[in-house]
Structure 1
Amino acid sequence: MASLCTNRTLSGTRSSTCSFFFLIIQLILPFLSLTAAQASRCRTSCGNIPINYPFGIDDGCGSPYYRHMLVCSDSGKLELRTPSGRYPVSNLSYSDPHILVTDPFMWNCQDGDNFRPTRPFSLDTSTHFALSPQNDYLFFNCSEDDVIIQPKPMFCEHFPERCDSSCDSASYLCRHLPQCPSVLSVTSCCSYYPKATESLRLMLKYCASYTSVYWRNIGEPQPYDQVPEYGIRIDYDIPVTTRCLQCQDILKGGGTCGFDIQSQSFLCLCEEGNITTYCKDHRLSGHHGRVRVIAGTVTAVSAAGAFGIGAGIWYLRKVRVKAPVTCGVQSNENRLF
């Protein structure tokens, strides 16, 4: 498009053609964007995992707090996007708000004493996600010269000021690895909860590998109410607003909570269009009128676009009559696109 405006003719036809095309493009682009906004739908599942508020896998759906966090792959697998990569989601709970993800780079039972290259898992601290305190981290083959590897109760009694920095070699999980309690033969194991991603990186600098174990609640009486499983539990917040509750109310139309992708302000997504209250808001005609205005705007813009294209064809024919004849040779003097 830039080359359209850089070449000039003696008659100035080139400049006027370029200006007219920019005018047509400015008329058509809003039509395309509005059509896309009206045509977009919020998918309610990815594979066998339901996608409900506050999440969305289509832009403009759910809460803007979690925009672009979840991705539904081409194979129908839900993934969580973090600064350290994309991770498969094995479960997504709304009653007890948390996400369970698996990290393919972490150690698993099949690895045994053979350790693959790993990388530290991390979360963006500016988001509404947080690593759950129900996670435990196990580190393998750590250097005793650089990491304090001691039975934690005994070490903490003697050195309480350094208790947080020790890696517990006598932890329950090291002695009862989930699913494979005796898979490790000569490898040392210790349990350590990193305070931040940086401390996790530091541990991995001196340890061969690591894995995450979370405690899943199975609803049994204590102390048998939780069982350890491999994975990373991530807790999240559900931002509840009056407008979203009204939007979702079946008696008020049963809309879907979403947001404007430009301003990120709240929108109730309805079959008839997107409004700022709820789908069956009859108190103010302006709300439903707003939906009609959106639809009318699309119609008006499409009509304007059609008029612009028609006028453009007429104008180009007129320009071509005045343009120099080049015997069918496409040159920089008569190139249109």
Structure 2
Amino acid sequence: MYFVTSFTMAKLRSIILFISLHVSFVPVVYSIGASHACRSYCGNITIDYPFALQSGCGHSGFRDLLFCINDVLMFHISSGSYRVLNIDYAYRSMILHDPHLSTCDSIVLGRRGNGFVVEHWRAPYLNPTADNVFMLLGCSTQSPLFQGFPYGNHVPCRNVSGMSCEEYYGCQGWMNLGLARMGLAYGSGPPICCALPYDAIKSVNLSKLECQGYSSAYTLAPLRVNGPSEWTYGIRVKYEVEVSNDSFCKACEATGGSCGHDMERFGQLCMCGSWNSTSNCDTIMKLSVGGTSLPRDKLSGLLIIISTFWLTSFRM
């Protein structure tokens, strides 16, 4: 029968003490799986965090939002699809185009426009900018915009960032419809154009607002233009990402990874080629020894040595 000598036991205690004092495992949860590099462009538009074109890439709050169709970048929310003209990552904004959006040259009625309605769960991340004016056109007397009209004072129409319906009435598009400026600006019913910021209504739903069409324009201060013929038409949307998500993504990309999320739990993931990390591509299965880091293969070797010593020291 074999036994453990006091000398062997002393050596074992020394190794265990050394490990407990100098070696600490970095708690990292990781998953091995089929990852892929996240596509970074569509046509001439760069696709970067928090946006993505592939499942699992980008921020979970922006999933299933962008689609690349024949090199044309499309943005899709509950109100419809829009073409993405530009994404400005420095100012965290994007410019959207609705083909049925009224401009100064063309007034589109018949409720053909998308308006802008974002899903409730996306609202904390995605909204039109404060300098973006929405001009609702041809709304009925029963529209929620004019509750109590003409006896009440509930008319939310206003000037937004220097843009108003009073100026918009001078556009050529109205004349093309056979409507003169004087007939538009004055009358006994509610105004045919009502300008307001998105925050005033939180949703541009033409059906619910009982409006026939809409226009949207934005300004880029300190630029000032002369009249609605020079306004920039489109929907300028701002996006928000939590500071913690930004920090995580920067750390991930700094180690060669792509920022993504778990498609089932929607938690953050750093996509590192053939495996995913919940931290970054340098921290998977690391061992910290005396202030330095050992990669996975050295960790495995150390564990083999300890296991071999254990088996050869204890004979049954």
Q: Taking structure 2 as the reference length, what is the TM-score of the superposition?
A: 0.61
1:55-98 CA distance string (max 9 Å, x none)? 1111111111111111122x111111111122111111111112
Equivalent residue, structure 2, for 1:266: 268
Q: Alpha carbons of 1:65 and 1:145: their partners in 2 closer, same or farther (altered >3 Å)?
A: closer
Equivalent residue, structure 1, for 2:212: 208
Contact conserved, 2:285 with 2:296, CA < 8 A, in 1?
Answer: no
Higher helix share: 1
**3-state SS of the aligned residue for 2:252?**
helix
**3-state SS of the aligned residue for 2:243?**
coil
Q: Alpha carbons of 1:254 and 1:277: their partners in 2 closer, same or farther (altered >3 Å)?
A: same
CA RMSD of aligned residues (A): 4.0
| Cα distance between partner residues in 2 of 1:103 and 1:208 | 15
Equivalent residue, structure 1, for 2:231: 228
Equivalent residue, structure 2, for 1:78: 73
Amino acid of the structure 2 residue aligned with 1:162: N
- 1:107 aligned to 2:102? yes
| Cα distance between partner residues in 1 of 2:203 and 2:76 | 16
| Cα distance between partner residues in 2 of 1:93 and 1:198 | 23
Contact conserved, 1:97 with 1:238, CA < 8 A, in 2?
Answer: no
Equivalent residue, structure 1, for 2:51: 55
Contact conserved, 1:100 with 1:232, CA < 8 A, in 2?
Answer: yes
**3-state SS of the aligned residue for 1:246?**
helix
Equivalent residue, structure 2, for 1:162: 153
Equivalent residue, structure 1, for 2:127: 130
Contact conserved, 2:105 with 2:171, CA < 8 A, in 1?
Answer: no
Equivalent residue, structure 2, for 1:278: 280
Fraction of identical pairs, as percent? 25
| Cα distance between partner residues in 2 of 1:52 and 1:223 | 32
By how many angstroms is 1:272 displaced?
A: 4.9
By how many angstroms is 1:198 displaced?
A: 7.0
By how many angstroms is 1:201 displaced?
A: 3.7
**3-state SS of the aligned residue for 1:60?**
coil
Equivalent residue, structure 1, for 2:309: none
| Cα distance between partner residues in 2 of 1:141 and 1:43 | 42
By how many angstroms is 1:148 displaced?
A: 8.1
84-93 vs 239-248, which moves further: 239-248
Equivalent residue, structure 2, for 1:244: 249
Q: Alpha carbons of 1:177 and 1:246: their partners in 2 closer, same or farther (altered >3 Å)?
A: same
| Cα distance between partner residues in 1 of 2:166 and 2:47 | 38
| Cα distance between partner residues in 2 of 1:173 and 1:42 | 42
**3-state SS of the aligned residue for 1:238?**
coil
Q: Taking structure 1 as the reference length, what is the TM-score of the superposition?
A: 0.58
Amino acid of the structure 2 residue aligned with 1:182: Q
Equivalent residue, structure 2, for 1:88: 83
| Cα distance between partner residues in 2 of 1:266 and 1:172 | 41
Structure number with the bigger relative contact order (C-alpha 8 A, sep ≥ 6) is: 2
